[in-house]
Each structure stands twice: as structure tokens, then as C-alpha cells.
Amino acid sequence: MQNNKVLVIDSNLDRARQLKDVLSFIDYETSVLSSEDYSQEKLKQLQPIDTLMLGQFGSSEDRIKIISEINKIDGSLPIFILSDSASEAAEQMDEQSVIGVISQPFKHTNINIALHKAQVFRESKEKPGNRRPVELFRSLIGSSRKINEVRKLVEQVSPSEATVLILGESGTGKEVVARNIHYYSKRRDKPFVPINCGAIPPDLLESELFGHEKGAFTGAITARQGRFEMAEGGTLFLDEIGDMPLPMQVKLLRVLQERVIERVGSSKSMKIDVRVVAATHRNLEEHIRENKFREDLYYRLNVFPIEMPPLHARVEDIPLLINELISRIEHEKRGSVRLTTASVMALCQYQWAGNVRELANLIERLAILHPFGLVDAHDLPEKYQSEKGRTAHPVYADSVPVMPDIQEAASHDARLPRDGLDLKEHLNSLEVSLIRQALTEADGVVAHAAKLLNMRRTTLVEKLRKHGLNRTLDAS
């Protein structure tokens, strides 16, 4: 599992401390070494390390030598160069394991993207037999406190044989958690067998779980294994356990207690060695009160509960999830798409009733509608455009462009991500977006755009220079 452990080596200790503050704020355990204190022994003592960030270290040749030494100790350790010099950084980007450059000022968004890149790099460098399947990245991508807590719980419970109950809304990635638990357990070389208890008719569910003998019922022309037998030695994932009929709950409870099953139509008991992981979006305690779920089964399943947070509760992970979903589409050669900052901000304000599954469907839809294109906020399907997003863009009525009231656009409350944001960068981005829209509305006439923005022409000209937008006007 990812341990969220970063080592910063830099002779510029002020820069190293600033970086450590940002990393600590997003829950990464960070150690700092000055270049003078570095040694191979120190590096080995600090292991395991997930990511290394390497700053000033003598000359460029010295730093290349250190990178080579580090690669011999851990060849899958992702390394970032801390440098504000593009030419200096470019020299070392060809070195093994150097996957990027980080420069000041340190911003939470950029650091999060870098750490996600490091995680993917580390997974891809592991031996093929130990590589985590691509689909396991889904939904567990992110650096929010809530998703880090889920990762920690998965890490703690995976090596044990405890029964796990995964709770959470539909589309949050409960099966992803179950697959991770199986992958990091001692049973990883054995089958992972999922079954949706709510999708199978009640009269067929017993046969699906326990199997049947030939002639056990009409249509049973051959004997058939059930999911418990298929999962022998591995993990059985009982999805939507809250939808299981009460009679089947009694039989499942017996199996969990005695670890034996009987096929339908047979009186022969078979011992099983299966770990059970269950999941539901239902409130099982409420179901117990309504006599829809057995209390004894609930306590048998609820040995180690893990709750998946809804997507709207971890808004800060949305940009990382978008990057991961786009990378997955590209990896599968199904095209690509890019989203502007404004469109990502609009998606961060959406409530996401369908959670990560809905986000994945949207990204796939955008890749089809805008192949290899750039999607702005007004290009999103209407329901994904937040109130702020809808009013901040021109609205067309009878083909006459009308600029909405800017004060109304700004009056809606913005949602602050749990891990905070760079307010100056956020406001600059919003200012640039509104200026661009005003210029578009005014056909590039600065005086008219200034009126739309309720400011003096000279003030707008200064802002155009500040944001480099005057070059856009010159080009047009």
C-alpha cells in the first residue's frame, strides 16, 4: 500500500521546509535532509520511502551521481527535481526514475498531481507478478483525508482473515476497495469472485451461491459449482448484501459460522476456505429495525467496517480522478480530452449523486463529444454547469449574445475544498475567465469590455498586461 512517505533532500533548507509544510498539510509524512547530511546509510534508515524530492546537491554532476546511487538502492523510487531552472532540470530528466520537476511557489494542486504521478510510476515499475491491476486505481485515487483513511484501513485489514463490510453510496467504488483488500491479502493468487445479491432472483440466489446437483430443480440438467466453491482459497465479494432475502440470510449466516456449504439437491456438506467481503449502500441498522435484515448476520459481517466517502465529500480529489480517468481512456486507445480550469471548477461544485461512476461516464462522454479537444465550462452538459458556471458565461437568446450580470455571477457561495486552495491563484483564474468572456462579448473592443466589467478602460488595460492577455489581442 501507499505509505504517503516523502523524503526531501536539499541544501536550500528554507525551500525544503516550505515544501514540507505543503506536504504535511495534505497528510504526507515528510522527512527533510540537508545535502550535507545525506548518506546511503541515512537513506536506508528512512526506508520505506514512496517519493524522493531532490533539490540542490553540489554540482549537476554530483546530483546525477546521487540519483544513480539511489536507483541502486531502490530502482522503483520516483524522483522529482526541485529547480526553478528549466535547462538544469532538463539535463536530469533523462536519468532513470526522474519523472518530473517541481518549482516554487509550491501549490497544493501541482503537488497533488506530482504525487499521483509518483504513485502510478511506482506501481508500473514493480515486477509484473506484483503489479496492481489498472482498474484498482479507480476511486482510490486522491489525497484527501477521507480517501487516505480508507487506504489506511485497507492496508490494516488486508493481511488478516477478518470479514469486511464496505458501506457507501452507489458508485463510490466499494468493489474497488474489495479488490484492493483481496490483492493485498495472502489470498491474492487465488480467485476473487464477485456476486451482486440484489441482481439475482431470490429463487436462484441459493443455487448461485452454493451450487446445485443435477436434477435438483427443473432445468438443472448438470451439476454446477456455486460462487463459494469458485472462490475456494480466495475472496468472495457479496455486493448489495442489504438486498439479500431473509431466508437466504439465514443460510448465509450458517455458512459464515460453520464454514461448510451444501449444494442445492445434495445432503453432502463441503468445507470451504473463503474470505467474505460484503458491501451495501443500504442502512443496515435501519433495515434491522424494519425486520428486513438479520441482526446476527449484521454483526457477523460487520467485523471490520470501511465506509467509502461520497464524491462530493472529497471534492479536492476530483482533478486527480479526472486525470486518472483520461489517462485510462488514452491507455485503452479510446481517444482523449482535456478540461479547462473553469470546467474542472464547475465539476467540483456539482453534487455527484452517481459518485465516481458518474464522473467516469461523463469523462467518457466528453471524449466522444470533443475528441482530443478542450472542454470549457459552457461545453459541459447543462446539469454539470454550476449556478456560478452557468451565469459566468454568455447566454444566447435569439442569436443575440447577452452578458449576464457579473455581480449575480459572483453572488453564489463557492465551496472551499477540505484541504484548502491557493486563493490568489483561484481569484486570478476567475478574473482571467471573466475578462476573456467580456472581450469576446465586446468583439475585442477594450472600452466596451471595461463597461461590461464595470471598470475603467485604463484599469482593464493594466489587467490585460498583468495576465498577458494583451498578446492575445495583438494576435487577433
Which positions ≥6 away from 79 have C-beta within 8 Å?
A: 51, 52, 53, 54, 67, 70, 95, 97, 98, 99
* Other CB atoms within 10 A of residue 311 CB: 28
- The predicted pLDDT at position 244 comes to 94
DSSP for 196-227 reads: ETTSS-HHHHHHHHH-B-TTSSTT--S-B--H
With respect to CATH, is domain 5-130 assigned 1.20.120.160? no
- The predicted pLDDT at position 227 comes to 93
- The predicted pLDDT at position 399 comes to 25
- The predicted pLDDT at position 95 comes to 55
Burial of 460 (0-12, 13-18, 19+ CB in 10 A): buried
- The predicted pLDDT at position 372 comes to 81
Q: How far apart are CA 245 and CA 199, in angstroms?
A: 12
Strand pairing report for 79-82 and 98-102: parallel
Q: How far apart are CA 47 and CA 317, in angstroms?
A: 27
The number of C-alpha atoms within 13 Å of 18 and in the hemisphere containing its C-beta is 14
Options 3.40.50.300, 3.90.1300.10, 3.90.1280.20, 3.40.50.620; CATH for 138-309 is 3.40.50.300
What Å distances lie between residue 420 and 25, 108, 150, 319, 423, CA to CA?
9, 8, 20, 14, 9
Q: How far apart are CA 393 and CA 377, in angstroms?
A: 8
* Other CB atoms within 10 A of residue 54 CB: 23
* Domain edges within the chain: 5-130, 138-309
DSSP element (H, E) containing 155: helix 145-157
- The predicted pLDDT at position 185 comes to 93
DSSP element (H, E) containing 324: helix 318-331
CB 133 within 8 A of CB 182: no
Q: What are the tens digits of pLDDT across the range 254-312?
A: 999 999 999 988 888 999 999 999 999 999 999 999 999 999 999 999 999 999 999 99
pTM of the model: 0.59
* Other CB atoms within 10 A of residue 301 CB: 26
Q: What are the tens digits of pLDDT across the range 402-455?
A: 233 333 333 334 445 555 666 777 777 778 878 877 777 776 778 888 888 888
**279 Cα distance to chain centroid:** 20
Q: For the chain, which ranges sit under pLDDT 70? A: 1-3, 60, 85-96, 109, 120, 123-139, 386-422, 443, 470-476
